[in-house]
Structure 1
Amino acid sequence: MSSDLWSFSLTTYARPGVERSCLHLQSAGVNVCLLLCGLWLEQRGVACNEQRLQQLRDIAGPWDADVVQPLRALRRQWKAAASEDAGLDDLRDKVKTLEMEAERHLLLRLERLALSWPQCEATDLTAWLEGVAAGAAHLDRDALHQLRVAVTGT
C-alpha cells in the first residue's frame, strides 16, 4: 500500500474496474477525490466519524467547485470541437493536465488533514466510502461495492 494519498490514488485508479466505477459514481455527484481518500483511510484503518467526514467535505467542496469543476466543464465543452481541430485538441489536453493537477492539490490537502488521525482503529470497512458518497443523487451502491472489491478484494 502506498503511504501517501497521491501515490495510492494513482495506483488504485489504474486497477481494473476502478476508473469505470469512479466515473459512474462521479456522474451521480460523488467526488472521486473523496472516494479515493475514503479508500486510503479505510486501508490505513482510520476510524470514520461525522466530524472527520465534514472536515474532508469542508476542504474538498470549495476546491472542487472553484477549481476542478470549471476545468472539467471546459474540457468537456471542447470535446466535440477538439476532435476536428488539432490546436483545440492540444489546448484541451493542457486543460486536462491542469484538471489532474488540481485534483492532486486537493488530494494533498485531504492528506495533510488526515495524517494526524490515528490509524488501525477502524472496524467498519464500509463507513468511509458510504460517508464520502452520502448525499449523491441516485447513489449506486453496486458501484461502491465494485470499487471496494477492485481495491481490497473483499
Structure 2
Amino acid sequence: MSSDLWSFSLATYARPGVEDACLQLQTAGVNVCLLLCGLWLEQRGASCDEQRAGQLQALTGPWDIEVVQPLRTLRMQWKARALDDGVLKGMREQVKALELEAERTLLSRLEGIAQVWGRSGAGSIGWLEALAGSAANLNRDALQVLRVAAIST
C-alpha cells in the first residue's frame, strides 16, 4: 500500500474499472479526490465519524468550487474546438495540467489533515458512504469497484 495519498490515488486510479467508477460518481456530484482520500483512510484503518468526514468536506468544497471546477469546465468547453485547432489543443493540455495540479494540491491538503488519524475505536460509518453522501445509495457498484481496487493497490 502506498503511504502517501497522491501515490495511493495514482495507483488506485490506474486499476481496471476505477476511472469509469470515478467518472460515474463524479457525474453524480461526488468529489473523486475526497473518495480517494476515503479509500486511503479505509486502507489505513482510520475510523470514520461525522466530525472527521465534515473536516474533509469543509476543506474540499471551496477548493473544488473555486479552483478545480473552473479549470475542468474550461477544459471541457475547449474539447471539441481543440480537435481542429492546434494552438487551442496545446492550451487545453496546459489547463488539464493545471487541473491535475489543483487535484494534487487538494489531495496533499487532505492528507495533511488526515494522516494523523489512526484507529480510534469503531467508526459509526464507512468512509466512502460518509463522503459520497446520498450518491452512495445510487452508486453502490461504483463504490465497490473502488474498494476492490484499493485492496489490490
For the aligned pair, the TM-score class normalised by the smaller chain equals: over 0.9
- Gap regions ≥5 residues in structure 2: none
TM (norm. structure 2) is 0.92
The AA in structure 1 aligned to 2:151 is T
Partner secondary structure for residue 3 of structure 1: coil
How far apart are 1:2 and its partner, in Å? 0.6
CA contact (8 A) 2:43 2:150 kept: no
CA contact (8 A) 2:129 2:136 kept: no
- Percent identity among equivalent residues? 64
Root mean square deviation, CA, Å: 1.9
* 1:146 has 2:120 as partner: no
CA distance in 2, matches of 1:36, 1:149: 13
Question: In the alignment, what sits opposite 2:134?
Answer: 135
After TM superposition, the runs of 4+ consecutive aligned structure 1 residues lying more than 3 A away are 119-124, 135-139
TM (norm. structure 1) is 0.92
CA distance in 2, matches of 1:86, 1:67: 25
How far apart are 1:119 and its partner, in Å? 3.8
1:79-126 CA-to-partner distances (Å, cap 9, x unmatched) read: 0000110110000000000000000000000000001212485578x7
The number of residue pairs the alignment matches comes to 152
- Gap regions ≥5 residues in structure 1: none
CA distance in 1, matches of 2:51, 2:127: 12
